[in-house]
Amino acid sequence: MIEKQVVVIGAGISGLKTASELYAKGCKSCVVLEARDRIGGRLYTAPGYNNNKYDLGASWHHDTLVNGLFLEEVGLPKEERAAFVFDDDAMIVFDKERGRVDQDPEMALEVLMEELLKFNQLQYFEDLDVKDVNYFETIVKYLYERRDLLTDEQIQYLPQVARFMESWHGIDWKTQSSKCLEIAHQGRNAFVLNYDTIVKRVGSAIPQEWIKMETEVSEIDSEGKKVVVTTKTGEKYACDYVVVTIPQSILAHSLKPEPRKGRIEFNPPLASGIQDAFKKTHYGSLGKVVFEFKDCCWSRKRSRVLSLGSSTPDITAKVRDADDLASLVEKLNLDTQYNFKNGESWDFPLFFVNLAKHTDIPSLILLMADPLTAYIESLPDKEKLYEYFEPILTKVLQALDCTEPIVKDFDDKSTSDGISSPVLKNIMTTKWTLDEYALGAYSACEPGDDPMDLILSLTNNQTSKIRFAGEHTIMDGAGCVYGAWGSGKREAAFIADKLGNFGSHSKTL
């Protein structure tokens, strides 16, 4: 039995922050147990073609007016912090058939989008008992109720533009709760170059001997005076406090009997409040695909491009002729079934970041939501990925003023010097849905969910000795890096306070 004051489970940003704060506060006896062979968790910077690197986990500092991690970063000397750029410039939006639909004075889709979000918000503000429905239904309701005030083109394109929200929540419009749809941005978004700098900085503020990699925890026993944490290989740690930072998706498996990677057996089992709260929360799967080109032969004027899913051709007539909302929802639902298994790439909204604008790197990063993410992440190789995305990629490049056909050169054989075509050298994709220690991207809300329940039940805790941190345990910055980071800070402060700020106590261990 190894004795420690604190055991931290997981070396993602929340676990790293917990341990670094504990160390800064004087803790002498702590261990961080991490299942993977690297730190960072869902912060993962991967190498690509030509020594470029990409964040396959988080990319942005969100809410930069209130984001504690961002504010800490900007207070550091430039050479110690991760570079970043504000990239919220106006987005190019295009449809397969029609071409660009953004900033069209006749359609005014940007203004309509704002009105739709307000419409959604008002329906829940006005009456607390209004049933939570999926976002798709709210969009149809808006079209139905406002149809006499909308043009045919607005009815046709607004629904697909509205699906941009999928790339925030990581789940599709038919799964997303309308009640939890709104994102109240607290300041601009800053694109980070890259998050590995932050992971290294926070990780290096912890004594390296505290961090035990490839050490999966399988059991937490809190029946005795000390909490006993057991690893998969049978090592046992007795501690005063344990901070559990494993993702919500993995923690959910503690409620099920089946053994699986990452699952922790709690003895006694997780409290009933926590168990109930899990019924009202879900998990999304934002995914990314990086397209790396040899050179940039497209416009660098805009950094954001949204490719719309195909709109239903006769949607306008159906909306105008509908006798009631319920039958319209049913009809349009049937019209908008997904067909991705047959390689139909136009059923989903795809959000592209044009890296060349801010970084000179000739790459496009695509963001997608579930269920497309799970499908794409399961494709076996670059050829299949290319086959799926080629039609859209061609259109995205056209939207960025590049009309030359793409030359695929994964083997790096093409003597492409001097040609003006975009030469595609590599495609990378995330694998979070297949990753045993992530099982997706971050917490998300389906109709009827209430994320507060899980946050409150986890922060009220199993016992005061079993603490929880991570993106799913905090309201300010929920789902975000800075939320996870803030939850680590919170738990370290709690423990330091309880242990008398590590005065004489630490010396006795």
Ligand X SMILES: Cc1cc2nc3c(=O)[nH]c(=O)nc-3n(C[C@H](O)[C@H](O)[C@H](O)COP(=O)(O)OP(=O)(O)OC[C@H]3O[C@@H](n4cnc5c(N)ncnc54)[C@H](O)[C@@H]3O)c2cc1C
* Residues at the contact surface with ligand X, assessed by CB under 6 A: 9-15, 33-36, 41-43, 57-60, 62, 216-217, 245-247, 250, 262, 264, 286, 288, 430, 432, 437-438, 441-442, 470-471, 479-481, 484
- Between residues 9 and 112, which has the closer beta carbon with respect to ligand X? 9
Contact 465, 242 (CB under 8 A): yes
Tally of CB atoms within 10 A around 409: 16
**CA dist., res. 437 & res. 67, Å (int):** 26
CA angle 319, 320, 326 (to 5 degrees): 45
Considering the complex, state which of residue 181 and residue 192 has its C-beta at the smaller distance from ligand X.
Answer: 192
Side by side, the strands of the sheet bearing 83-86 are: 60-61, 190-193, 83-86
User: Residue holding tokens 């370290």?
Assistant: 492
CB of 170 to ligand X, least distance (A): 7
Q: How far is the CB of 203 from ligand X (least distance, A)?
A: 11
The token pair that represents 409 in the structure block: 């050169």
Nearer Cβ to ligand X (346/437): 437
**DSSP code string of 200-260:** HHHHHTS-GGGEE-S--EEEEE-SSSSEEEEETT--EEEEEEEEE---HHHHGGGGSSS--
Q: Provide the 10 A C-beta neighbour count for residue 412.
A: 11
Would you say 240 or 435 has its CB closer to ligand X?
Answer: 435
Smallest gap, in angstroms, from Cβ of residue 309 to ligand X? 20
Q: Quick one: 277 or 297, whose CB is closer to ligand X?
A: 277
Q: Nearest 5°: phi and psi at 327?
A: -70, -30
> Least separation, in Å, of the C-beta of 131 and ligand X?
29
Show Cβ contacts of residue 298 under 8 Å, excluding neighbours closer than 6 positions.
354, 356, 397, 400, 401, 402, 422
Name the residue nearer to ligand X (CB basis): 59 or 421. 59
Cβ at position 498, least distance to ligand X in Å: 22
**What's the N-to-C CA distance of the chain in angstroms?**
13
Nearer to ligand X, 137 or 216 (CB): 216
Nearest distance in Å: CB 323, ligand X: 42
Q: How far is the CB of 392 from ligand X (least distance, A)?
A: 19
Least Cβ distance, residue 66 to ligand X (angstroms):
12
Give how far Cα 201 sits from Cα of 195, 261, 320, Å. Answer: 10, 29, 57
Cα–Cα distances in Å, from 218 out to 164, 230, 269, 277, 500? 39, 6, 13, 22, 30
Smallest distance from ligand X to CB 249, Å: 9
Return the closest-CA partner of residue 357 out of 150, 89, 133: 89
Cβ-count burial 151-180 (b if 16+ within 10 Å, e if not): eebbbbbbbbbbbbbbbbbbbbbbbbbbbb
Element (DSSP H or E) covering residue 345 = none
17 or 425: CB nearest ligand X: 17
* C-alpha closest to that of 190 among 46, 79, 74, 17: 74
Q: What is the nearest approach in angstroms of ligand X to the Cβ of residue 446?
A: 18
What's the rounded Cα separation, in Å, for the pair 47 and 258? 36
In the complex with ligand X, the residue whose CB is nearer, 129 or 258, is 258
* Cα–Cα distance, 363 to 350 (Å, whole number): 15
- b/e map of 279-295 (b: 16 or more CB within 10 Å)? eebbbbbbbbbbbbbbe
Q: Which is nearer to ligand X, 293 or 442 (CB)?
A: 442
| 308 neighbors 160 (Cβ within 8 angstroms) | yes
Q: What is the closest distance, in whole angstroms, from the C-beta atom of residue 280 to ligand X in the complex?
A: 19
Residue closer to ligand X by CB (options 293, 437) is 437
Non-local CB neighbours of 341 within 8 Å, separated by 6+ positions: 375
| Closer residue to ligand X in complex, CB, 94/389 | 389
Least distance (Å) between residue 125 CB and ligand X = 27
